[in-house]
């Protein structure tokens, strides 16, 4: 028996496959970095890409720094101290710097949760604001060329210098995370996010698409309108080890980092599979179903019609969106969701149901999770406990020819399986 460990929450699940079964592990490429990241951090902060030196910032300036919330594994304890040290050396006081937790439509983080994304000394010494897309004071900056209203956190937008900090990795409909996205989505209004995300049905709104992706280009335009000055972004490997860091004008940072991201996360695949067993990548990528769905999207790209997808997602915080859950409950099936969605006014939350529906009407989905069975069944998915997953796999394999190809994706959220063209 072959035993393969796949991430599940903060631990692993051991998957058992018979010796005679043909399977392939589809995972990001292992790339060894020779860079000393702390030294590299200091170098890039001193020499920003396509941007003026931090030394040119006027000394009484108010500086706003957008950071990701707890659903994103950004190594802030590594990134922020060198940046803050540099600002301190240049004469900027802690009172001039405010951190904004960019939660988008996620539930705003509570003060007692700040330590999940920020070091304690930063929480103690600096002002930290948790953005609320429904209740924060917004500044109206007009609209994008695609008609998206630009309503952004007013305190952030009015700062003299605006920064974003985060990771650049594949994103299942935005193409890539990183760059201005933390501010242009994370610190905007629900209306702004809804209008932008309504473009997710576009054929180019997929992982690995940047220049042709209307959602991503809309975000770039929002970021330009906000006038985000600097981005500090990492590229990490599948083990969350930082391979490189980039600092400077946000678009220049994206352009410099994307080739490395593609080398790691774009994985050529030769065929579709009868069974795909996928983990989003463990905590926090499976903190709730709202986040874990991203791994499902990538798995579906390489699953045969009527094939099986087993999604391993602990979901300690449950579904992750009341709007998503309520929308599914208002319909009688994913077929109905797919039929109704395009005729209804777009909103974030229901969009997640649409994304699952696209895959659920074509494949058979089993959700291995700690969520209660009744919750999973209420979402029209087949529940399975972690203890029963291997029995479920064995049952599926009994129905498939011995030659049926099987794929395992340990880092489904960030792996972009790319079918080879003949």
Residues 322 and 368 both lie in one domain: yes
* pLDDT value, residue 422: 55
Domain limits for position 135 = 37-265
pLDDT tens for the chain, 422 residues long, are 899 999 999 999 999 999 999 999 999 998 888 789 999 999 999 999 999 999 999 999 999 999 999 888 899 999 999 999 999 999 999 999 999 999 998 889 999 999 999 999 999 999 999 999 999 999 999 999 999 999 999 999 999 999 999 999 999 899 999 999 999 999 999 999 999 999 998 999 999 999 999 999 999 999 999 999 999 999 999 888 999 999 999 999 999 999 999 999 999 999 999 999 999 999 989 999 999 999 999 999 999 999 999 999 999 999 998 989 999 999 999 999 999 988 888 888 889 999 999 999 999 999 999 999 999 999 999 999 999 999 999 999 999 999 999 999 999 998 999 987 65
Residues 112 and 14 both lie in one domain: no
Total domains present in the chain: 2
328 neighbors 379 (Cβ within 8 angstroms): yes
118 neighbors 76 (Cβ within 8 angstroms): yes
CATH number of the domain to which 393 belongs? 3.90.226.30
Residues 249 and 326 both lie in one domain: no
Residues 119 and 261 both lie in one domain: yes
CATH number of the domain to which 92 belongs? 3.40.50.11440
Give the domain-ending residue among 246, 265, 284. Answer: 265
Residues 317 and 412 both lie in one domain: yes
* pLDDT value, residue 135: 96
How many alpha carbons lie under 13 Å from residue 2 in its C-beta half-sphere?
Answer: 15
Residues 315 and 407 both lie in one domain: yes
Residues 238 and 215 both lie in one domain: yes
Rounded to 5 degrees, what angle do the CA atoms 406, 409, 412 make?
140
Full-prediction pTM beyond 0.85? yes
Residues 234 and 278 both lie in one domain: no
Residues 55 and 87 both lie in one domain: yes
Residues 191 and 301 both lie in one domain: no
Task: Residue 121: count other Cβ atoms within 10 Å of its Cβ.
Answer: 12
Give the domain-ending residue among 247, 265, 283. Answer: 265
Residues 277 and 325 both lie in one domain: yes
């Amino acid at each position: 028996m072959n035993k393969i460990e796949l991430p599940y929450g903060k631990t692993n699940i051991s998957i058992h496959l018979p010796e005679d079964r043909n399977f392939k592990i589809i995972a990001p490429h292992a790339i060894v970095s020779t860079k000393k990241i702390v030294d590299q951090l200091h170098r890039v902060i001193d020499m920003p890409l396509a941007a003026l030196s931090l030394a040119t910032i006027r000394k009484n300036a108010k500086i706003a720094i957008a950071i990701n919330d707890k659903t994103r594994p950004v190594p802030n304890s590594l990134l922020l101290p060198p940046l803050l040290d540099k600002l301190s050396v240049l004469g900027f006081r802690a009172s001039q710097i405010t951190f904004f937790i960019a939660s988008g439509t996620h539930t705003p983080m509570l003060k007692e949760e700040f330590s999940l994304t920020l070091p304690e000394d930063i929480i103690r010494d600096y002002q930290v604001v948790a953005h609320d897309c429904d209740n924060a004071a917004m500044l109206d900056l007009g609209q994008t060329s695609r008609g998206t209203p630009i309503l952004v956190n007013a305190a952030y937008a009015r700062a003299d210098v605006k920064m974003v900090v985060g990771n650049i990795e594949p994103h299942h409909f935005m193409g890539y995370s990183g760059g201005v996205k933390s501010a242009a989505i994370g610190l905007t209004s629900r209306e702004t996010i809804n209008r932008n995300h309504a473009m997710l049905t576009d054929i180019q709104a997929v992982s690995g698409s940047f220049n042709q992706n209307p959602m991503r280009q809309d975000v770039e335009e929002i970021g330009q309108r906000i006038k985000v000055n600097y981005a500090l972004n990492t590229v990490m490997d599948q083990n969350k080890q930082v391979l490189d860091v980039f600092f400077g004008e946000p678009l220049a940072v994206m352009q410099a980092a994307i080739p490395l991201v593609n080398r790691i996360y774009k994985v050529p695949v030769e065929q579709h599979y009868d069974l795909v067993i996928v983990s989003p990548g463990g905590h926090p990528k499976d903190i709730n179903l709202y986040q874990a769905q991203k791994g499902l999207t990538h798995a579906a790209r390489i699953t045969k019609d009527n094939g099986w997808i087993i999604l391993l997602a602990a979901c300690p915080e449950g579904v992750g969106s009341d709007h998503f859950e309520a929308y599914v409950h208002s319909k009688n099936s994913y077929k109905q969701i797919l039929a109704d969605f395009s005729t209804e006014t777009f909103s974030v939350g229901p969009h997640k149901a649409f994304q699952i529906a696209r895959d659920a009407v074509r494949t058979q989905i089993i959700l291995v999770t700690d969520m209660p069975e009744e919750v999973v069944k209420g979402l029209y998915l087949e529940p399975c406990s972690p203890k029963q997953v291997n029995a479920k796999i064995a049952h599926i394999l009994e129905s498939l020819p011995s030659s049926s190809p099987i794929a395992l994706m340990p880092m489904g959220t960030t792996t972009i399986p790319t079918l080879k063209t003949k």
